[in-house]
């Protein structure tokens, strides 16, 4: 054996694979304003840390080996800010990273390895044109493609939330990438990308509909209508930073706690001004975001699905360095009344936090659920119950703070009295009851004179006062709003000092989908 010749052959094959689809295809990718898959990996991971699996893989079709370096998909391990991660990246320069036998074998086996052995966060940088024709068209080819070379499809289309899974849509994401996005814990969409089951050409031929990729699955569709996308970014560099930001709130896997970070020395300063953002008039709307900002560590805040169901805020943040998930009504939108989108958003966030051992904080100010004919046609009743079913299975610590209104079933959905909070307090401004007192007064007393109506309303408002609930120990305390952060810090210390450290039993890990 000529050992030197063997090494030269190896080096040649490796260099050929690293050239991806070749200079013309790389130039075309850059012309779209997009990086190549390998450039994306270099930008995201710590320098020099990527260990690739399957560099020399290629298409199983005879004669296609040289045209399909790595068969259009790159898999491997690396570090992000010193933390081990697994990574899959579609290489669009190679046959649009379409799915074929070797391509899927790599991704399925790699996902299975990450799930069963490595147990580290998985990042998928998506950009694929869907299925490769004619490789998967025949009966044998289709069955081979479906099996992907593994004994079960479970690694492909099941995510049991055992380790965080991040999907980033970097371009067209048709077919398999769409399904992966549907499974992921966190989806980022770069503006100009599209996520859909079918690409425009196949759709036009199959059902005669002519829509662009953006019309079917652009960022506005998935951030505002479907809720699949958690965050939208302007460009790829912002996408990489968003991935790093999300990872910073996540544990490596479901059996570990999220990382604790140092606390900014001036973290307490904003609490003294919290009432500046809270109106004295109970009918006046306000934005809950500044209220949250006063409670949490400075510079630590990542909101999920901000444009979907915006009457409900769901965010990852830190309090005294510890990761928490906050679910807060926002009276600025629909006066805080949750619609079906808000309920779906609630359910999704409960699954995320319970799966990754993140304590939940609920901030109440809601007059109830948004009901009516349109809501009923969107199955609002079932959505209410479904969210409650998820809530009742949550086993991470739950902390409820009743800030202002907390009425009816919405009070239950927000983990109010009777819904199993571990810690529950109220501000003196809290109102607890079946419905808004103005509606209740009208239902009970009917048409009254102005003076009688005022008296009836005062009676109803008085009945909602938090002190009777505290007196019967439905509330553990009523606190000064300016003491809220101190209260939360004390509670979180109790949780960390407890026997289970706030670890979940992960009952929502196999919740079938995001919603």
Residue bearing the bigger pLDDT, 372 or 474: 474
pLDDT the model gives residue 370: 86
Question: Does residue 504 sit within a domain?
Answer: no
Q: Please give the structure tokens belonging to residue 450.
A: 């102005």
Tell me, yes or no, whether 334 and 243 share the same domain.
no
pLDDT per position as a tens digit, 282-294? 889 999 999 999 9
State pTM to two decimals. Answer: 0.91
Query: Is it the case that residue 216 has pLDDT exceeding 50?
Result: yes
pLDDT the model gives residue 497: 95
Residue 240: its H or E element: helix 236-249
- What sign results for the dihedral spanned by CA atoms 190, 194, 196, 198? negative
Find tokens 């979940």 and name the residue: 504
Of all residues in the chain, what percent carry a pLDDT higher than 70? Answer: 86
Residue bearing the bigger pLDDT, 202 or 480: 480
Cα gap 292→277, rounded to integer Å: 10
Q: Are 239 and 188 in contact (CB under 8 A)?
A: yes
Tell me, yes or no, whether 319 and 206 share the same domain.
no
How far is Cα of residue 110 from the mean position of the Cα atoms in its chain? 23
Tell me, yes or no, whether 244 and 273 share the same domain.
no
Tell me, yes or no, whether 242 and 387 share the same domain.
no
pLDDT the model gives residue 445: 43
Query: Is it the case that residue 152 has pLDDT exceeding 60?
Result: no
pLDDT per position as a tens digit, 222-254? 999 999 999 999 999 999 999 999 999 999 999
pLDDT confidence tier of residue 144, bands split at 50, 70 and 90: low
**Averaged pLDDT for residues 70-75:** 96
Lowest-pLDDT range of 187-191, 425-429, 445-449: 445-449
Query: Is it the case that residue 55 has pLDDT exceeding 90?
Result: yes
User: Own/partner pairs for 196-201, CB < 8 Å, 24+ apart?
Assistant: 198/130, 198/174, 199/129, 199/130, 199/172, 199/174, 199/175
Question: Does residue 123 sit within a domain?
Answer: yes
**Averaged pLDDT for residues 482-495:** 97
pLDDT the model gives residue 265: 74
pLDDT the model gives residue 434: 74
Question: Does residue 134 sit within a domain?
Answer: yes
Cα gap 324→317, rounded to integer Å: 6
Lowest-pLDDT range of 124-138, 311-325, 359-373, 480-494: 124-138
Tell me, yes or no, whether 210 and 273 share the same domain.
no
Q: Please give the structure tokens belonging to residue 304.
A: 């999920």
Cα gap 461→450, rounded to integer Å: 16
The partner residues of 53 in beta bridges, in order of sequence, read: 75
Range of the domain at 366: 269-497
pLDDT the model gives residue 344: 96
What is the per-residue DSSP string for 375-426? HHHTTHHHHHHHHHHHHHH--S-EEEEEEEEEEHHHHHHTT-TTS--SEEEE
> Taking each helix axis from N to C terminus, what angle separates 37-44 and 236-249, rounded to the nearest 10 degrees?
50
Question: Does residue 202 sit within a domain?
Answer: yes
Cα gap 164→120, rounded to integer Å: 7
pLDDT the model gives residue 204: 47
Where residue 434 sits, what CATH number does that domain have?
3.90.226.10
pLDDT the model gives residue 413: 96
- Mean pLDDT over each residue of the chain, to the nearest integer: 89
Q: Are 142 and 136 in contact (CB under 8 A)?
A: yes
Tell me, yes or no, whether 293 and 428 share the same domain.
yes
**Averaged pLDDT for residues 92-107:** 90
Question: Does residue 512 sit within a domain?
Answer: no
Provide CB contacts within 8 A for 243, sequence distance 6+.
44, 80, 123, 166, 168, 188
Secondary structure string (H, E, C) spanning 208-235: CCCCCHHHHHCHHHHHHHCCCCCEEECC
Q: Are 84 and 128 in contact (CB under 8 A)?
A: no
3-class SS of residue 498 = coil
3-class SS of residue 376 = helix
pLDDT per position as a tens digit, 327-339? 999 999 999 999 9
What is the per-residue DSSP string for 161-204? SSS-EEEEEEEEEESHHHHHHHH-SEEEEETT-EEESS-HHHHH
- Last residue of one domain, picked from the residues 198, 220, 249: 249
The CA-based angle 278-289-259, given to 5 degrees, is 130
Of all residues in the chain, what percent carry a pLDDT higher than 90? Answer: 72
pLDDT the model gives residue 197: 86
Query: Is it the case that residue 441 has pLDDT exceeding 50?
Result: no
Provide CB contacts within 8 A for 275, sequence distance 6+.
481, 482
**How far, CA to CA in Å, does 366 sit from each of 32, 111, 170, 339, 413?**
45, 41, 37, 11, 10
**Averaged pLDDT for residues 8-16:** 94
Cα gap 106→74, rounded to integer Å: 8
Tell me, yes or no, whether 394 and 302 share the same domain.
yes
Tell me, yes or no, whether 358 and 224 share the same domain.
no
Query: Is it the case that residue 136 has pLDDT exceeding 80?
Result: no
- Last residue of one domain, picked from the residues 249, 278, 297: 249
pLDDT confidence tier of residue 58, bands split at 50, 70 and 90: very high
pLDDT the model gives residue 436: 65
Which residue from 51, 163, 32, 181 is spatially nearest to 93, judged by alpha carbons?
32
Tell me, yes or no, whether 237 and 333 share the same domain.
no
Question: Does residue 261 sit within a domain?
Answer: no
pLDDT confidence tier of residue 266, bands split at 50, 70 and 90: confident
Give me the number of domains the chain comprises. Answer: 2
Tell me, yes or no, whether 238 and 273 share the same domain.
no
pLDDT the model gives residue 147: 53
Find tokens 């239950």 and name the residue: 412
Q: Are 359 and 324 in contact (CB under 8 A)?
A: yes
pLDDT confidence tier of residue 23, bands split at 50, 70 and 90: very high
Residue bearing the bigger pLDDT, 131 or 230: 230
Query: Is it the case that residue 196 has pLDDT exceeding 60?
Result: yes
Tell me, yes or no, whether 352 and 428 share the same domain.
yes
**Averaged pLDDT for residues 160-174:** 95
> Taking each helix axis from N to C terminus, what angle separates 101-113 and 139-147, rounded to the nearest 10 degrees?
20
Cα gap 307→310, rounded to integer Å: 6
pLDDT per position as a tens digit, 341-351? 999 999 999 99
**Averaged pLDDT for residues 212-220:** 87
pLDDT the model gives residue 148: 47
**Averaged pLDDT for residues 264-280:** 86
**What φ, ψ does residue 417 adopt, rounded to 5°?**
-55, 130
Tell me, yes or no, whether 36 and 183 share the same domain.
yes
pLDDT per position as a tens digit, 24-35? 999 999 999 999
- Last residue of one domain, picked from the residues 195, 215, 249: 249
Question: Does residue 259 sit within a domain?
Answer: no
**What φ, ψ does residue 171 adopt, rounded to 5°?**
-165, -145
**Averaged pLDDT for residues 169-183:** 92
Question: Does residue 56 sit within a domain?
Answer: yes
Which residue from 106, 126, 120 is spatially nearest to 165, judged by alpha carbons?
120
Which residue from 363, 353, 345 is spatially nearest to 291, judged by alpha carbons?
363
Pairing of β 477-478 and β 423-426: parallel
Cα gap 225→312, rounded to integer Å: 15
């Amino acid at each position: 054996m000529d050992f030197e010749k063997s090494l030269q052959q190896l080096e040649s094959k490796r260099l050929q694979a690293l050239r991806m689809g070749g200079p013309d295809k790389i130039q075309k990718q850059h012309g779209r304003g997009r990086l190549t898959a390998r450039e994306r990996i270099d930008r995201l991971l710590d320098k020099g840390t990527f260990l690739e699996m399957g560099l020399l893989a290629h298409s199983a079709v005879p004669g296609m080996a040289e045209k399909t370096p790595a068969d259009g998909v790159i898999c491997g391990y690396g570090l992000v800010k010193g933390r081990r991660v697994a990574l899959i990246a579609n290489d669009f320069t190679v046959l649009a990273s379409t799915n074929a036998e070797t391509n899927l074998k790599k991704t399925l086996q790699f996902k299975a390895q990450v799930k069963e052995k490595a147990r580290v966060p998985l990042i998928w940088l998506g950009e694929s044109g869907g299925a490769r024709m004619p490789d998967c068209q025949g009966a044998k080819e289709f069955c081979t493609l479906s099996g992907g070379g593994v004994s079960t499809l479970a690694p492909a289309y099941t995510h049991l939330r055992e380790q965080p899974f991040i999907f980033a849509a970097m371009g067209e994401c048709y077919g398999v990438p769409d399904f992966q996005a549907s499974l992921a814990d966190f989806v980022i969409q770069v503006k100009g990308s599209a996520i859909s089951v079918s690409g425009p050409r196949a759709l036009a031929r199959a059902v005669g509909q002519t829509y662009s990729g953006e019309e079917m699955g652009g960022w506005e569709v998935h951030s505002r209508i479907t809720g699949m996308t958690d965050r939208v970014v302007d460009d790829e560099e912002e996408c990489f930073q968003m991935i790093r930001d999300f990872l910073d709130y996540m544990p490596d896997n479901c059996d570990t706690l999220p990382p604790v970070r140092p606390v900014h020395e001036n973290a307490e300063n904003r609490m003294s001004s919290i009432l500046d953002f809270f109106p004295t008039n109970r009918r006046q709307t306000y934005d809950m975001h500044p209220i949250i900002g006063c409670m949490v560590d400075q510079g630590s805040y990542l909101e999920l699905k901000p444009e979907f169901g915006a009457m409900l805020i769901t965010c990852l943040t830190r309090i005294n360095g510890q990761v928490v998930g906050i679910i807060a009504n926002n009276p600025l939108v629909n006066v805080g009344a949750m619609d079906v989108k808000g309920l779906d958003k609630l359910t999704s966030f409960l699954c995320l936090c319970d799966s990754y051992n993140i304590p939940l904080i609920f901030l109440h100010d809601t007059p109830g659920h948004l009901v009516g004919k349109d809501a009923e046609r969107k199955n609002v009743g079932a959505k209410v119950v479904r969210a409650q079913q998820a809530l009742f299975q949550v086993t991470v610590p739950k902390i409820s703070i009743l800030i202002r209104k907390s009425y009816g079933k919405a009070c239950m959905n927000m983990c109010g009295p009777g819904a199993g909070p571990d810690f529950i307090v109220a501000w003196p401004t809290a109102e607890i009851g079946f419905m808004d007192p103005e509606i209740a007064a009208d239902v009970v007393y009917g048409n009254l004179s102005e003076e009688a109506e005022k008296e009836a309303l005062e009676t109803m408002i008085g009945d909602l006062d938090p002190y009777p609930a505290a007196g019967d120990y439905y509330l553990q305390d009523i606190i000064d709003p300016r003491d809220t952060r101190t209260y939360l810090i004390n509670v979180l210390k109790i949780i960390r000092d407890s026997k289970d450290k706030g670890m979940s039993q992960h009952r929502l890990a196999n919740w079938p989908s995001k919603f």
